[in-house]
Structure 1
Amino acid sequence: MEIKSQIKAIVWKVVKEVNDNVAVDEDIIILESMKMEIPVTSEISGTIKSIEVNEGDEIDEGQVVAIVE
């Protein structure tokens, strides 16, 4: 499943790594926008297959940030 950004923001922190297990609503990435931290969470339980962004990247709303299977 593709995990997408809800907003245009900067990737502040990548919390999980490839092959990490995640649960529903567990943080994968933390975004920063207008001095606020916004978590991007997993919609399913599974394993992270890829992280599509790096810390410091500017990303758009709807951009894929991770893949969880």
Structure 2
Amino acid sequence: MTQVAANMAGTVFKVLVQPGDSIAAGQDLIVLESMKMEVPIAAESAGKVVEVKVNVGDFVNDGDIVVVLDN
């Protein structure tokens, strides 16, 4: 299992994946909004989405787990 963490504090603007989705390395999973900028969070490796831990509108801090992948 791989846990994908937020790389900065911000509000979840978009959730681009759902549990069960197969994803490729480098694919955007979540888009955060911080200081009016949209910042994507991408997968470091390919896998399958097991759990999405955030919803649109949630606030996350740097290091918070946002998606869990099964490699």
Task: Report the TM-score range of the alignment, normalised by the length of the smaller protein.
Answer: over 0.9
| Cα root mean square deviation, aligned | 0.4
Q: Across the two proteins, how many residue pairs are aligned to each other?
A: 69
TM-score between both structures, scaled by the size of structure 1: 0.98
Instruction: Spell out structure 1 runs of 4+ moving beyond 4 A.
Output: none
> Does 1:17 find its partner at 2:51?
no
TM-score between both structures, scaled by the size of structure 2: 0.95
Partner residue, 1:65: 66
Query: Residue 22 of structure 2 aligns to which amino acid in structure 1?
Result: N
Q: Tell me the percent identity.
A: 33
**SS class of match (2:44):** coil
Structure 1: state its 5+ residue gaps.
Answer: none
Structure 2: state its 5+ residue gaps.
Answer: none
